[in-house]
Amino acid sequence: MSNHATSSFNVTGWDQTPYDDGVPGPVMGRATVKKTFTGDLEGESVAELLLCQADAKDIKAGAGFIGSERVTGRLGEREGSFVMQHWGVIDGDAPPRTGGSIIPGSGTDGLTGITGAVEISVDAEGKHTLTLDYEIS
């Protein structure tokens, strides 16, 4: 049986450092990002992201990220943690493209056995939403 969860999230911490300084071309960085979630998923997370931005002054010129993120909290009636890996690409005024997966075997406690798909969206007002389509075996 597949489950669907939607939660808003806020970024509560962002610590970014460059890792390819002084090289011509896009800006490359690494960031530790912290979030809080409200909705079907209630909790917090910490993520490590690798970032690329074509123009440091204009994110719409092209940007992308890949990340691994540990989420801890309550999903439905279950509590525990899991890891998701996800990515996103920004290209001009087009809506960002995102995708990802919950890593099989990463669930703990009440979320042991969780697997599924991840999507992140940002609306015109800047509200962030995480959508999970998941199963727990």
Residue 100 has pLDDT above 60, yes or no: yes
Structural domain including 42 reads 3-136
Domains held by the chain: number: 1
SS3 68: strand
Q: Which residues touch 125 (CB under 8 Å, ≥6 apart)? A: none
| Residue whose tokens read 């962030």 | 128
* CA 17/CA 71 separation, integer angstroms: 23
Q: What is the mean pLDDT of residues 113-131?
A: 93
Q: What is the pLDDT of residue 113?
A: 98
Cα dihedral 45/135/100/48 (nearest 10): 20
**How sure is the predictor about 10, in pLDDT bands with cuts at 50, 70 and 90?**
very high
Q: What is the pLDDT of residue 1?
A: 56
- Write the CATH number for 130: 2.40.350.10
Please state, for a pLDDT cut of 90, what percent of the chain lies above it: 85
Q: What is the pLDDT of residue 22?
A: 84
